A and B are shown apart, each in its own frame.
Chain A
Amino acid sequence: MWPRLERRAEASPRMRCLSPLIAVALTIIGGLAVFALLGKSPVQAFAVFFVNPVHDLYGVSELLLKATPLMLIGVGLAVGYRANVWNIGAEGQFILGAIFATGVALQLPESASRWWALPLMAVAGAIGGGLWAAVPAFLRTRFHTSEILVSLMLVYIAQFLASWLVYGPWKDPQGFNFPQTRLFPDTALLPVMIEGTRLNASFMLAIAALLGAYVFMQRSFRGFQMQVAGQAEHAARYAGFSASRAVWGGLLAGGAMAGVAGMSEVGGPMGQLTTQISTGYGFAAIIVAFVGRLHPLGIFFASLLMALLYLGGEQAQQYLNLPASISNVFQGMLLFFLLAADLFITYRLRWAAPSFGRRAWMQR
């Protein structure tokens, strides 16, 4: 008896939900195997990596803090990916959002109040990220240029732009020549939600964004139009839905959300713009969007998981003497396993006797 792949009559909705869980389970098994190969006790490694980071309130608050930008970016990307718009450059849009928000924060007058300063920074961040995403949107709709490569190239350009600003015009004169801006005034810092932690108001913003995206994707006609335009161009054209509007909408949503996430980073845990702003959240959020099945609720849980992998990596560095980049290895593994497990959404295994060279069509 050999397993044989057979196409399902229709895609299995149960498998669609199960496949991320299978991928997580396989990633954990694979991760423990990696630890064993490195000569670490898998049991101890599991505790350090997955339990230690969240064993107290501070740990949980750090988890939510790390998950916040992933939720913001992931949900914006999901809007685009549903429309078949491949925005891969969220990292660059994140940096531009941070730059624009910093521009506002550095200009705030002494008399500024948090009540208008922070919303202004968030809007500036959204505009910055949106502008950066508008470049691939314009080039794709006007010249049919691949948004994948253009948005990626803009990541590198954004990194150089941030580097130039913090080495040049925005360098803190009292910063001992470090490549960083001066620290933001208190009015430009997001209020902390729980005393003694770093978890700030941007977490509530991320939750609001997830709810808003849920309404837009699942309940609004515009959301439906975008999805059709992306997945069935001919059907969309026949129905009079605009394909280029879907491209613009998908990219701008991703860019604006990534920009807000960038603002939440400089206005939150960083408190200034430095060359460290390219955190990799923009790339991790791509995995979040996929593992979360492009659905807001899924993105919520996927963000928590990815944040746990980040924190676990930091713990592994501290207690197991392993490079923190082990997080990225596990994140990549997670996406691999998910993509493989997704085969079983449209196919299933059938146990059948080997066919001894008979052609498939003869068996039907």
Chain B
Amino acid sequence: MDATLIASIIGATLVAGTPLIIVALGELVTERSGVLNLGAEGTMAMGALSAFIVNQAIGSAPLAVAAGMAAGVAMSLVFGYLTLTMLANQVASGLALSIFGIGLSAFIGKPYESAAMPMVAPIRIPVLADIPLVGPALFNQQSLVYVSWALVAAVAWFLYRSRAGLVLRAVGESPASAQAVGYAVIPIRYLAVAFGGAMAGVGGAFLSIYYTPLWSQGMVAGRGWIALALVVFATWRPIRVVLGAYLFGGVMISQLFVQGLGLKLEVPAQFLSALPYVATIAVLVLISRNAAAVRLHSPVSLGLPFRADA
């Protein structure tokens, strides 16, 4: 296969992996604070719809992404209120958020169904994009692809190099101790949940603005759940999220691979479409069979409710 094809496959892999990176990093920060939010799928749907509506109204991609982010924060605050203030079960509340978000986005989005917007032109980074083969794939991309790389560095720095990150991790490991030394556990968790929601909203916005510039019910197609699995796969470490996300990005565009390799596979399209979900199960099994490693890295208080004056 020729160079342009390789470049386009690499480029497509990056694009497919980008929403996963963004959403999984948000969820990673939330989980590091000890809160398990299963609402990413519904939050992404709301983010995608809000961004699409704003994009269609004023035609500005950055503002559309901001709208998606705002919708994500709003969704996650509902979850935060339920689990942090009302001490509800985190698994059930997250599921409720997903069911609600999918329903609400379908309801509000009905009039916008399948109205397409023009593709947003990629941003070409001079000089770097001229590198043969990888240049056009890596450095002629949508703005959010670059943002996702910066986000990985920022989250890694925040968690491991900043004082605030240390506090966040302490809250996730042992909220009672963190409170004993004077940190406000519940407000910190609210912030972590809001960040997770914001990133899920941006991830959704990426889908409806850059990936396939339209809104249709079910367009998130399980990416929120896959991002959740990715956090486990990455054993709560940001750099590994990137690895997993691009792996899944590659699986998601497997049809392109098959064409690119010139294979005449007698495989129905549905089997290739099901691959990312099969792959998710496979990597979950690979990671979780090593129970000791998962337990070592997972935040100790993950999923447990905490009450400040109890």
Interface set of A (CB-CB < 8 Å, partner B): 7, 86, 88, 135, 139, 143-146, 148-150, 152-154, 156-157, 160-161, 163-164, 167-168, 283, 286-287, 290, 322-323, 325-329, 331-333, 335-336, 339-340, 342-343, 347, 360
CA distance A145 to B289 in the complex (A): 7
| Cβ distance B90 to chain A, nearest Cβ, rounded Å | 10
Contacts of B281 in A (CB 8 A): 135, 139, 145, 149-150, 153-154
Query: Considering the complex of A and B, which 10 residue pairs feature the smallest CB-CB distances, nearest first?
Result: A328-B103, A332-B100, A360-B309, A325-B106, A164-B270, A339-B88, A323-B110, A335-B96, A160-B274, A143-B289
B78 touches A336 (CB 8 A): yes
Interface set of B (CB-CB < 8 Å, partner A): 38, 78, 81-82, 86-89, 91-93, 95-97, 99-104, 106-107, 110, 217, 221-222, 225-226, 228-229, 232, 268, 270-271, 273-274, 277-278, 280-281, 284-285, 288-289, 291, 294, 309-310
CA distance A139 to B289 in the complex (A): 9
CA distance A336 to B96 in the complex (A): 6
Which one of B38, B93, B285 contacts A148 once the chains associate, using CB atoms below 8 Å? B38
CA distance A135 to B232 in the complex (A): 19
Number of A-B contacts (CB under 8 A): 130
Contacts of B38 in A (CB 8 A): 148
CA distance A168 to B217 in the complex (A): 25
Given A287-B99, A290-B92, A360-B309: A153 and B225 interface contact (C-beta under 8 Å)? yes
Which one of B97, B271, B288, B309 contacts A164 once the chains associate, using CB atoms below 8 Å? B271
| Cβ distance A58 to chain B, nearest Cβ, rounded Å | 27
Given A145-B288, A157-B277, A328-B107: A167 and B270 interface contact (C-beta under 8 Å)? yes
B100 touches A336 (CB 8 A): yes
A323 touches B271 (CB 8 A): no
Contacts of B310 in A (CB 8 A): 7
Given A148-B38, A164-B271, A343-B86: A156 and B107 interface contact (C-beta under 8 Å)? no
B82 touches A339 (CB 8 A): yes
Given A160-B274, A339-B96: A325 and B110 interface contact (C-beta under 8 Å)? yes
CA distance A143 to B286 in the complex (A): 8
Q: Do most interface residues of chain B lie in helix, strand or loop, or is the interface mixed?
A: helix
B92 touches A335 (CB 8 A): yes
A326 touches B284 (CB 8 A): no
Pick the most buried of A152, A168, A333, A335: most chain B CB atoms within 10 A of its CB: A152
B228 touches A149 (CB 8 A): yes
Which one of A153, A163, A333 contacts B100 once the chains associate, using CB atoms below 8 Å? A333
Contacts of B274 in A (CB 8 A): 156-157, 160-161
Which one of A160, A283, A339 contacts B270 once the chains associate, using CB atoms below 8 Å? A160
Contacts of A167 in B (CB 8 A): 268, 270
| Cβ distance B20 to chain A, nearest Cβ, rounded Å | 14
B280 touches A153 (CB 8 A): yes
Instruction: Please name 10 pairs of A and B residues whose Cβ atoms are closer than 8 Å in the assembled complex, sorted by A.
Output: A143-B285, A145-B281, A148-B38, A160-B270, A287-B96, A323-B107, A332-B104, A336-B82, A339-B89, A347-B87
Contacts of A135 in B (CB 8 A): 281
Contacts of A290 in B (CB 8 A): 92
Q: A145-B285, A153-B222, A328-B106 are in contact. List 13 more A-B contacts (CB 8 A).
A: A88-B95, A143-B288, A144-B289, A149-B225, A156-B222, A286-B99, A290-B92, A322-B107, A323-B107, A328-B104, A339-B82, A339-B92, A340-B81
CA distance A342 to B92 in the complex (A): 12
Contacts of A7 in B (CB 8 A): 310
